[in-house]
Amino acid sequence: MNYTQPPMGLIAELTHRCPLQCAYCSNPIALDPPRGELTTADWTRVLDQAAALGILQVHFSGGEPMARADLVQLVAHASSAGLYTNIITSGVLLSDAAISDLLGAGIDHIQLSFQDALLAEGDRFGGYRGGHARKLESARRIREAGLPLTANFVVHRQNVDRVEAMIALGEALQAERIEIAHVQYYGWALLNRSALLPSREQLEATNKVVATARTRLAGRIAIDYVVPDYYAARPKACMGGWGNRFINISPSGKGLPCHAAETLTDLAFPSVRDMSLKNIWTDSEAFRRFRGTEWMPAPCRSCDRREIDWGGCRCQALALAGDATATDPACARSPDHALMAEAVAAAVDAPLDLVPRRMRRVADA
């Protein structure tokens, strides 16, 4: 692969602030405090560099990107630079005025997250009273504005039995795309893994529900489906491969190959405050470390899937096997593959109590 080619997308994590407290959040446990966030000028410079580099899309995320007072300004700047603009939001702050301002700024697409299909359960998992009702209103605003809508549902042990209802809700909201994504176990989700990991029976039932819905909705609504690695025989290409397709900028400005990359504490991730986006992408050791296939251990290096899954997830290898260079335990060929089964077994009778994501957990915030 030619790594002088630009990444396809820039993931702009504007802030870790969020009114929700989802226990499966992919943000790090040590959340970036607001005082350390990039300024508006920092972000506009990054967006200009992204356009110059040849990046096509910018995905504004968080935390909750609408917690940034300058979001509309950043969307307008990205749009004027020729970038396709997408917001990934909880929707609880998306008022009539906000949607009007975003339309004026040139927003192209909005992804709206849901914690459940049921009001009470949605509010419980999001930790925000009245949040589900606000999401429904936000979906209405998005569609009335003529914008394409993606409805994102994160599923886990405690809500996965309602996937059919989630798909029905997405259909009722006139979403163009529905994402049914099993929790991926990083950040807060790893902390809460035993209370979130579904059983094999739940997974198999969900597979059938999604397959049936895809057939029924073919040509009308696209359904993306993400399964948990803990039941896999082969790993997936995390983020399309380390440093292959995306560059993620954290709220404090660090350039990351994926949102969980900072768990690899032996790597120094450069900041956009100190280095250009192009140099981070092409020259930084952090991006080069696990890019391509030369870094791979056996059996990955000789595997016929090495340029399909790109060795799987380095963050998962570190979290489970204790070694970021190890074969991803999701792979059946990994000597650590049994760790997946052990985690599944440990979740069977585990308590369902969840540790909510809270900014106050940052010691210096």
Where does residue 127 fall: left (phi above 0), alpha (psi -120 to 50 degrees), or beta otherwise? left
Residue 360 — very low, low, confident or very high, per pLDDT cuts 50/70/90?
Answer: low
Each residue's pLDDT tens digit, 127-153: 999 999 999 999 999 999 999 999 999
pLDDT band at 5 (very low <50, low <70, confident <90, very high): confident
Q: What is the pLDDT of residue 238?
A: 86
Model confidence at 358, pLDDT cuts 50, 70, 90, reads confident
Q: Given this model, what pLDDT does residue 15 score?
A: 97
Over 70: is that where the pLDDT of 3 sits?
A: no
For 253, phi then psi, to 5°, come to 105, 5
Mean pLDDT confidence for 155-183: 97
The average pLDDT across 114-138 equals 97
How far lies 332's CA from each of 78, 175, 231, 278, 328, in Å? 43, 36, 10, 36, 9
Helix or strand or coil: residue 305? Answer: coil
pTM of the model as a whole:
0.94
CB 58 within 8 A of CB 86: yes
pLDDT at 39: 98
What residues form DSSP beta bridges with 13?
61
Tokens 């009114």 correspond to 19
Separation between Cα atoms, residue 81 and residue 44, nearest integer Å: 10
Q: What is the mean pLDDT of the chain?
A: 94
Asked whether residue 258 is marked as a ligand-binding residue, the answer is no
Please, what sign has the CA dihedral across residues 64, 363, 38, 50? negative
The percent of residues above 70 in pLDDT, for the chain, comes to 97
Judged by DSSP in three states, 27 sits in: coil
User: In Å, what is the CA distance from 247 to each residue of 9, 144, 269, 287?
Assistant: 7, 32, 12, 9
Give pLDDT, residue 222.
97
The reply to whether 313 sits in an annotated binding site is no
* pLDDT above 70 for 364: no
Give the pLDDT score at 365.
29
Strand partners, 111: 88, 150
Is 303 marked within a binding site?
no
CA distance 230 to 7: 28
Domains of the chain listed by start with CATH number: 7-364 (3.20.20.70)
pLDDT at residue 363 above 70?
Answer: no
Tokens of 57: 């899309």
Query: For 63-109, how does the pLDDT look when each residue is reduced to its tens digit (9 = 90+)?
Result: 999 999 999 999 999 999 999 999 999 999 999 999 999 999 999 99
Q: Judge contact between 84 and 57, C-beta under 8 A.
A: yes
> Average pLDDT of 25-48?
95
pLDDT of 4 over the 80 cut = no
Q: What is the pLDDT at residue 181?
A: 96
Q: What is residue 132's predicted lDDT score, i.e. its pLDDT?
A: 98
Q: Is the pLDDT of residue 2 over 70?
A: no
Q: Residue 361 pLDDT > 50, yes or no? A: no
Please report, in angstroms and rounded to a whole number, the separation of the first and last CA atoms in the chain.
41
Mean pLDDT for the stretch of residues 268-279? 97
pLDDT band at 290 (very low <50, low <70, confident <90, very high): very high
